[in-house]
Amino acid sequence: MASHSHAQPVGGPLNKKFVTFMVIFLGIWAAVLVYRFIFGIGVVSGLTDYYPWGVWIAFDVVTGTALACGGYAVAILCYILNKGKYHPLVRPALLTSALGYSMAGLAIVIDVGRWWGVWRIPFGGFPDMGKYNWDSALLEVALCVMAYVGVLWIELGPAFLEKWEATSKNSALVGFAKAGLKFYDKALIWIIALGVLLPTMHQSSLGTLMMLAGQKLNGLWYTPWLPLLYLISCVGMGYAVVVWESSLSASLFKRSRETSMLISLSGVMVVILSLYLVLRLGDLVISGKVPLMFSGWLSIVFWAEIGLFAVPLLMLANKQRRSHFPVILKASILIMLAGAFYRFNTYITAYRPAEGQTYFPSFLEIFITFGVIALEVSMYYFIVKRYPILGGAAAEKSAA
Amino acid sequence: MGRRDEWLDLPADLTDDGVDRRDFVKVCMLAAAALGLPAATGVKWAEAAESGLKPSVIWLHFQECTGCTESLLRTSHPGLGTLILDMISLDYHETLFAAAGHQIEKCLHDAVEAGGYICVVEGAIPTKEDGIYCQIAGRTAIDILQDVGGKAAAVIAIGSCASWGGIPSADPNPTGAVGAQEILPDKTVINLPGCPSNPYNFLGVVLQFATMGTLPALDDEGRPLFAYGRTIHEHCPRRAHFDAGRFARQFGDEGHNLGYCLFAMGCKGPETYANCSTLHFNEVPDAWPIGIGAPCFGCTTKGVGFTKPLFQEAALPPNYVPPIHPSDQRGPITPGWAGVVGLATGAAVGGALMASKKLGEGETEGS
Amino acid sequence: MSMDRRTLLKGLAVAGAGAVAPVEASEKYAEAPEDAVGMLYDATRCIGCQACVTACKTANNLPGNRYNPPEDLSGDTKNIIRLYEDADESSYMKSQCMQCIDPGCANACMIGAFKKREYGIITWDPDRCIGCRYCQVACPYNIPKFQWDTGVPLIVKCELCNHIIHDPDTGTLREGALPGCCQACPKEAVIFGKYTDLIEDAKQRIAERPENYWGPDGEPKIFGLTDGGGTQVLYLADLNFEKLGLPTLGDEGTAKQAREIQHGIYRGFIAPVALYGVLGLVMWRNNRAAKKEEG
């Protein structure tokens, strides 16, 4: 395994303005959460019995975890396909993933109505234990996500252990760190294997979830291929996030950006986008749903969605064009948007349970979502400052 | 002096020899109260009666059973005797007049000539074959009504038959029976449907006109709102049972004996406009159909009474039962807020696309 | 092709085999249980009196009254009567849980809070539910409702008055006990009974008066016999069920299809374990090759 011990903490003092803003913002956010937990979900959201799943599920959980699949995507490249050159991308991607999934977990606790019982899920109930409903795709999502969060933080373990080993004054902690790193040397493969297996399972199951909606989901989105479509789009989104995350971090923290790596990464995205479009459109044609593509306003939404996948594909297809880095960045945004739009549509827009019912998130609902994102950004900031996450030598300060 | 009614403190029988003025005023005031009119009205009636200015009333009978006249007999505030002897001048009434033949026709002719009378119509008017199915003194009911009713100061149709056709108009309506309004399209006919019509509704209208020269507010079917403005259901004493879901299912069953709601037995209360539930009949409390355990059959309301089967359930008023598709639970999407969110998202995406340019430019190779 | 890629592809083929191997359709919920009970609602007999709505509230200790009749099922309404009316025809319609034979809600519930229990009745266990509301997504009739305005919300749905009709000690039905709505209905528009008996009853009504009942292509239809895999609450009406708000479903429920996908992919956990093995193997070989290069 190629090492990536070039990773360094960014170091330096925390930006005062940023910290102040976050403390205030997250303080207000915490107050809103208290209000939600006391008075229920209705007062802080636009959710109804016809639209029980809204922005918190469609975005924070489903889209959020897909965006957090940077770690998954890079791990496949790096460890399975053995493209060692992508190694410097691994840790930052893993951190984004770990935080993204943890925030998705937080969003779940905010969203579910009887959140105090969530801990019973891994036990299959308590005290009446071991009763899992294996028919439920949601069980699989829940268990996988819970496990994956753990796996991600464990995968990040070396970053923390390296820091403690290098700088800790506590000899016990240093000893622990040394032992830990040794353990990782041997066992990391099997942990990473889990880290590739688990997202494969639950990202596809996030698609399977909407199978139960049946007729309530518009025919252009309802298909037995939902799991595979979700998996493919998630991988694409994962790469797109990696592109952005590494560019942003390089810029903000004055690191060198792995440009050539990211360019070749974009070549992979072309394959993924093609796979998605072929499967999506092919399935619709074969199941005779072509007339649906041209009737009703949902068909407009459908074509917009297809467009969002097709445009970045065209942008990146040409090798010449994709070596121009801004093109890759723009295409990545579109890919993230495409995947997010697809998920929003499956869970909300194309979900029509009853005549005359609509859903739109309320202000507080969106505010809470922003708070989750803000929390994630803050934690990312703190961790990269303190721990060896970001790679690349301390900047060859360019003209940028 | 005869007996005095203990409760009312009046002579028990007003037709006894002489009623003193105070008692007479009291009677009038009681009548006013019974009709929901101010007490002062009662005094006015007494004054009008004393001054001899009694309004003339011509009462026409057509296709009827005389039930409405009979029902008028069961009043005591004022009693019929007081009414026709002291308060109005009844100038033509086939049932109550001793006269017959040419004698009574002369009374009718003289009263019509004198003019300024109230024309009361009891019974439906047949229209088929030029109305030959009801003729009095050689004239058809149509002619009589158009003549007498046309020249009246006010026309009151008492009972469902005169109001809209009633029993004679029940399917197949072989005589083409219709209500008085159809024969007098250009006149305002006050309809007092019912089978029989509650006499106090009639008394209220007549005495209001007689005393103040005005007619009560009418609905779009010419029925006084004070009596026909609400359905039986709205004022039914068994309403609590309806709301709680307690229904009698058969005559004599437990629910019936306990006085439960009769809706399941075909009570037409919800679609029948009348005030039987508050006014009752025969001046005996609870002497009205539902009060004695018989479902209302909608005798006042055209399309219900004598039309819908007795035990077929009534139609409930509109908006009583919610529609299949409920309204949007959180209300429709407000365009303003949606616009804000849309714009913000667009701005974010646009901003990111623009930042791509800056971020992407001028950077070096990595390790 | 380098060695690791070949191994990877081989491994994927093995894992893939587990996924596309012939899937036997899960026959778990093909039929109602033998002792299943249910209800038969004959819309042609319903008079819209809503006695059942009040009775349901009383039987289930729910707030609300007839003066402000509920517009829809909700966190405190388990049963409701609604009216369909157009220029030509009208009918009342009772809505409550359909007690599906292959319920989407029970399929969805990951922790088994919604479960199809004795007599085929689907009940909710507050001690297990976490309030994720997947059951609301899964129900084709949009029946389970959630209490949005409290910090301690329940999921609310008709349970056939299980607490009234079912004796938890003996596990049998109480003699003569009826769900609140069936008890109250003055016209016996909704009746309770053994599922097979109700089917017979419905068929008899159709046989006696076929002109009273609607069906596609003129053949009177009992809604719930096969719809969505079948429901233990059956409906008869004299107009199109779609007008009454019932969805047009095929003979198979979505639960069955979802189960087929889930179990198809994860049967015996073969595929995940195989994939895990392959991934681990590939990485181990990569690692060994890298170490060889270094060393």
pLDDT digits (tens, 9 = 90+) for B310-351: 999 998 988 889 999 999 988 788 888 999 999 999 999 998
B237-255 pLDDT per residue, tens: 999 999 889 999 999 999 9
Q: Average pLDDT, whole number, for chain C?
A: 88
A102-131 pLDDT per residue, tens: 999 999 999 999 999 999 999 988 888 888
Q: Angle between the B39-50 and B21-34 helix axes, to the nearest 10 degrees?
A: 130
Phi, psi angles (nearest 5°) of residue C83: -120, 130
Closest CA to A351 of C152, C138, B200: C138
Give the number of residues written for chain B.
367
Q: Angle between the A137-167 and C254-266 helix axes, to the nearest 10 degrees?
A: 40
Q: CB–CB of C130 and A117 under 8 A?
A: yes
Confidence of residue C27 (pLDDT cuts 50, 70, 90): low
C-beta separation of A316 from A328 below 8 A = yes
Kindly list the residues from chain A whose CB atom is less than 8 angstroms away from the CB atom of residue C134. Answer: 136, 138, 209, 212
Q: CB–CB of B326 and C52 under 8 A?
A: no
Interface test with A, best of B337, B341, B359 (most A CBs within 10 A): B359
In this complex, the residue of A256, A326, A354 whose CB is nearest that of residue B356 is: A326
For range C256-281, the mean pLDDT: 83
Q: CB–CB of C49 and B249 under 8 A?
A: no
How many Cβ atoms sit within 10 Å of the Cβ of residue B319?
9
A78 alpha carbon, distance to own chain's centre:
18
A222-264 pLDDT per residue, tens: 999 999 999 999 999 988 988 888 788 777 777 677 777 788 8
Closest CA to A242 of A56, A9, A66: A66
Kindly list the residues from chain C whose CB atom is less than 8 angstroms away from the CB atom of residue B246. Answer: 51
Interface test with B, best of C60, C66, C149, C188 (most B CBs within 10 A): C66
pTM (2 decimals)? 0.86
B172-175 long-range contacts, Cβ below 8 Å, gap at least 24? Answer: B174/B128, B175/B63, B175/B126, B175/B127, B175/B128, B175/B133, B175/B134
C106 has a chain A CB within 8 A of its CB:
yes
When mean pLDDT is compared over B49-53, B85-89, B228-232, the highest value belongs to B228-232
C-beta separation of C247 from C254 below 8 A = no
Would the pLDDT of A4 be above 50? no
Task: Say what the pLDDT of residue C8 is.
Answer: 54
Intra-chain end-to-end CA distance of chain C, in Å: 24
C-beta separation of C256 from C229 below 8 A = yes
How far B277 CA sits from the closest chain C CA (Å)?
A: 20
Q: ipTM of the assembly?
A: 0.91
Q: How far apart are CA A82 and CA C2, in angstroms?
A: 11
In this complex, the residue of C112, C131, C137 whose CB is nearest that of residue A114 is: C131
For range C196-222, the mean pLDDT: 95
> Alpha-carbon torsion C268, C272, C278, C281, what sign?
negative
Would you state the structure tokens that stand for residue B179, as one six-digit string? 């209500």
B167-186 pLDDT per residue, tens: 999 999 999 999 999 999 99
Least confident of A69-83, A158-172, B138-152: A69-83
C-beta separation of B25 from B46 below 8 A = yes
Task: Say what the pLDDT of residue C9 is.
Answer: 54
Please report the beta strands in A37-169, taking only residues with DSSP state E, as ranges in sequence order.
Answer: none
Q: CB–CB of C153 and A49 under 8 A?
A: no
Kindly list the residues from chain B whose CB atom is less than 8 angstroms away from the CB atom of residue C47. Answer: 263-264, 313
Task: Say what the pLDDT of residue C25 is.
Answer: 41
Give CA separation, B279 vs A193, B34, B116, B289, in Å: 87, 9, 31, 12
Compute the count of residue pairs across chains A and C with CB atoms less than 8 Å apart. Answer: 191
How many Cβ atoms sit within 10 Å of the Cβ of residue A134?
13
How many CA atoms within 13 Å lie on the side-chain side of A268?
A: 23
For range C22-41, the mean pLDDT: 76
Kindly list the residues from chain A whose CB atom is less than 8 angstroms away from the CB atom of residue C5. Answer: 81
B367 has a chain A CB within 8 A of its CB:
yes
Least confident of B52-56, C79-83, C111-115: B52-56
